[in-house]
Chains A and B, each alone.
Chain A
Amino acid sequence: MSSLIFTLNTSVKQRIDCSPLTSDLLADKSVADIAAIELVVGNAIERVDALFDITGDDASDIKFVNSTDKLDFVGRNMTSGKLTVEGNVGGYLGLFLDGGEIEVTGNTGIYTACEMKSGQIKVNGNAGDFVGGVRPGYRNGMTGGTVIVTGNTGARTGDHMRRGMILIEGNAGDYCGARMISGTIAVLGGVGAHLGYAMKRGTLLLMQAPAQGISANFNDCGSHTLAFLPLLFNSFAKLESKFASVESFSRVQRYAGDVAGIGMGEILVKI
């Protein structure tokens, strides 16, 4: 068996909802069945084979080739298998992901890993706003799993995030960790303004002090040696990420906030 490959064969003007093309939904389907699946394209319906050339037959290893940022909802509700996107991808990558792995060679749009439950997403590029966040009107963002972004993330990374880990090798945008309920976001690069705004609990781990400082809503708790950090770094060792080679440390400056709320979140800055 070889990877099931969807090669985009047309110049896309409208957004395509790719949520039917996951390992779970394509298992036991023939190539003919898959070709006949209808996708929502803008306000129209198109067959899969009108948009993609289809090769291979292994639904547990799906590839999108020649992808563009018009492909939305890739990997939605996926629970197992591997999904690779060669190129950029649109919004809601890995929405509700509950297992398996997604890897993107380019950039992703908004709401990457939105309300993700488990599994792993790796973006070898930049990710848009609301990575690991929550849909408007809902209460819990990402509740498990790991997201790795080798580039930068947009604003409001981890919005309403409840559990899991977001690892950003580049910079994080404004409002990183905003409204965070729990979980861990680690950033190797810089962070934007309003770090941890309305954060309830959880950890923002920074390798460098924020250029724009720490909000007045976070109280300085002093410098400390925290025993959990070596465990955290050990857990990074198996990842294909710069985080795997970060030298473990346990000395950090700890800030607690957002004290405008319950103030149980923390920003840890390496010292």
Chain B
Amino acid sequence: MIINGVTIDETFAEAFPMKGTRLIITALNAKWAMISAQAFTGFATSVIACGCEAGIERELDPSETPDGRPGVSILIFAMGGKGLAKQVETRAGQCVLTSPTSALFSGLESETEMALGQNLRYFGDGFQISKMIDGKRYWRIPVMDGEFLTQEKTGVQASVGGGNFLVLAESQAQALAACEAAIVEMKKIPNVIMPFPGGVVRSGSKVGSKFKALNASTNDAFCPTLKGQTKSDLSPEVESVMEIVIDGLTKEDIDKAMRVGIQAVCDLGAENGIRRISAGNYGGKLGPFHFHLQEIMA
């Protein structure tokens, strides 16, 4: 398949099951809601070493938030429910509770729930106040700038992590420009995040390593400087490869995000140095969710 001079490889991206939730952070103004959200989602690019993958889904208008203040919606994913709960609790405690004027709410309704502010309340040292509003429990925790309001629980749902595609370009600058264009479009899709810095990762990995301590290592088949040293998947004119990784609440959400992202890259086309779109295919070793590029773009 070729779109605007860009070859879409006959391959698929492999993704794996995760547990995910959506949280809503609000604050006195959009600036502080964003600061808190950025703190919460910091160092959350990959479960390989961060324990979770998290990102900002979008900014929320005051009319969209529970307390009528500006807010930010974030998604966080982990390999299991317990790991997710731990990450949410520590990040909420250190990054949202501490952030001036913030409040924290669940953004996901689900039969399965986990603690959100349930344990943070003990920071109130006995002065915390519970409020049941519309069947949901909230905690009012006295803090030095007033009160930190947090919902007691948030929903958890089975999700998908690791959807991806690779952008193969003639230069680093062209690969980056294409990925930036893709991210702009993908950010318009709900229920997904691209957890890496700016949504783009330049150090895509393969499963396993020659070093026993590592369970992932550089994806040498797509490293342009190794073209003559390893079994490369790159043609001579490809000088740079970048990857966009997508986590979503459902497989369908990732499908949509991949479609608009790849389309944005292809819109730049061969005339802008984009040669191929490929994907992280690990021969079925990584996960049960397969995103076939040509089917997505059909």
Q: Measuring CB to CB, which residues of chain A are less than 8 angstroms from any residue of chain B?
A: 144, 163-164, 182, 184, 201, 203, 224-228, 230-232, 234-235, 248, 264, 266
Report how far A186 CA is from B130 CA in the complex, Å: 16
Whether A235 contacts B134 by the Cβ 8 Å rule is yes
Given contacts A226-B140, A228-B67, 10 further A-B contacts (CB under 8 A): A203-B131, A225-B146, A228-B131, A228-B133, A228-B147, A228-B149, A234-B134, A235-B133, A248-B68, A264-B127
> With A and B bound together, what is the CA distance between A248 and B133 in angstroms?
15
Chain B residues in the interface with A (C-beta under 8 A): 66-69, 103, 126-127, 129-134, 138, 140, 146-147, 149
Closest to B139 in A: A228
A182 to B131, CA, bound (A): 9
Pair B147/A224 contact, Cβ less than 8 Å: yes
Nearest residue (CB) in A for B101 is A227
| Residues of chain B contacted by A230 (CB below 8 angstroms) | 67-68
Do A231 and B132 touch across chains, with their CB atoms under 8 A apart?
no
Q: Find out whether the CB atom of A231 lies under 8 angstroms from the CB atom of B147.
A: no
- Known A226-B140, A227-B67, A248-B68: A232·B131 in contact at CB below 8 Å: yes
The one of A184, A227, A232, A266 that contacts B103, using a Cβ cutoff of 8 Å: A227
Q: Is chain A's interface secondary structure helix, strand, loop, or mixed overall?
A: mixed
Given contacts A163-B132, A182-B130, A235-B134, contact A228 B68 (CB under 8 A): no
Chain B residues whose CB sits within 8 angstroms of the CB of A235 once the complex forms:
133-134
B147 touches A266 (CB 8 A): no
Q: In the bound complex, what is the Cα–Cα distance between A91 and B235 (angstroms)? A: 87
Which residue on A lies nearest to B68, using beta carbons?
A230
A260 and B232 CA atoms in complex are apart in Å by 78
Q: Which residue of A lies closest to B140 (CB)?
A: A228
A228 CB contacts on chain B under 8 angstroms: 67, 131, 133, 138, 140, 147, 149
Q: Give the residues in chain B near A234, CB-CB below 8 Å.
A: 66, 68, 134
What 9 A-B pairs have minimum CB-CB distances, sorted nearest first?
Answer: A227-B149, A235-B134, A230-B68, A235-B133, A230-B67, A227-B103, A231-B133, A227-B67, A228-B149
Q: List 30 A-B contacts (CB under 8 A).
A: A144-B132, A163-B132, A164-B132, A182-B130, A201-B129, A224-B147, A226-B140, A227-B69, A227-B103, A227-B140, A227-B149, A228-B67, A228-B131, A228-B133, A228-B138, A228-B149, A230-B68, A231-B66, A231-B67, A231-B133, A231-B138, A231-B149, A232-B131, A234-B66, A235-B134, A248-B68, A264-B126, A264-B127, A264-B129, A266-B129
Q: B130 contacts which chain A residues (CB < 8 A)?
A: 182
Q: State A225–B147 Cα separation when bound (angstroms).
A: 8
Contacts of A203 in B (CB 8 A): 129, 131
Write out the residue numbers on chain B whose beta carbons fall within 8 Å of the beta carbon of A227: 67, 69, 103, 140, 146-147, 149
